[in-house]
Amino acid sequence: MLVAPTSALIGALGGVWLTNLHSARIESKREIRENRSDARDLILDFLQSGEAWAQRGITSTLSAIAAIKDGRVVTDDPPRSYLDSYNEARLAHAIASAKLRMFVGDDRLQPTVLELKRVMDSVTEVMSPIFALLLDGRVGANDVSSQQVHALFDYFEGYKSELAKFEATAAPLVSVPIRSSD
């Protein structure tokens, strides 16, 4: 006598449970896709700003040296404009780096991101001696040694190499399979 109503209740509750389980799975997959997309954007911004910063570091320094050596000094303080240009790129990369460290907590990426930050923070050891000479009104571009310029190139090329390693580690984690229309 109670078998039919009990079976109906169990069936209804089971159906609700299955529907909720299915909805939760769909929502979880949607969140994973959104998180992957957000992480991909942060990683891409980090990689692009890192490449731009490294390139700007090299070109700003060499342009400042060349401007002084060639006598193309238009203002009283030309190296500062080159340094300002470099600092804009450095700030953009520092912000991208901070966002990446804060929002992408993957254990496979964090050590590399932290190492890249440490290397980025050590740039003053390479650039300061060069720009100190260029910014000192009594010292000219001829006082910048070729060893200092080589150290600058080595530093930024090393940084770009580390960025490439990071990209190789990150790409499989955020890639999305391409589905054919078949």
Q: What's the first-to-final CA gap in the chain, in angstroms?
A: 54
Listed in sequence order, the residues at least 6 apart from 81 whose beta carbon sits closer than 8 Å to its beta carbon are 75
Q: Distance between CA 93 and CA 50 in Å, rounded?
A: 6
Angle at 87 between CA 164 and CA 157, to 5 degrees: 30
> pLDDT tens, 14-53?
776 767 666 667 766 666 666 677 888 899 999 999 999 9
Question: What residue ranges define each of the domains in the chain, with the CATH number in brackets?
Answer: 32-174 (1.20.120.230)
Which one, of 146, 119, 143, lies nearest residue 133 by Cα? 143
Angle at 145 between CA 139 and CA 148, to 5 degrees: 110
Segment holding 110, helix H or strand E: helix 110-121
Which one, of 27, 31, 36, lies nearest residue 104 by Cα? 36
> pLDDT tens, 103-136?
877 788 888 888 888 888 888 788 777 777 666 6
Range among 9-18, 69-78, 93-102 rated most confident: 93-102
- Name the pTM for this structure: 0.70
**Residue 137 confidence class, pLDDT cut points 50, 70, 90:** low
Checking if the pLDDT of 143 tops 80, the result is no
What percent of the chain is predicted at pLDDT more than 70? 68
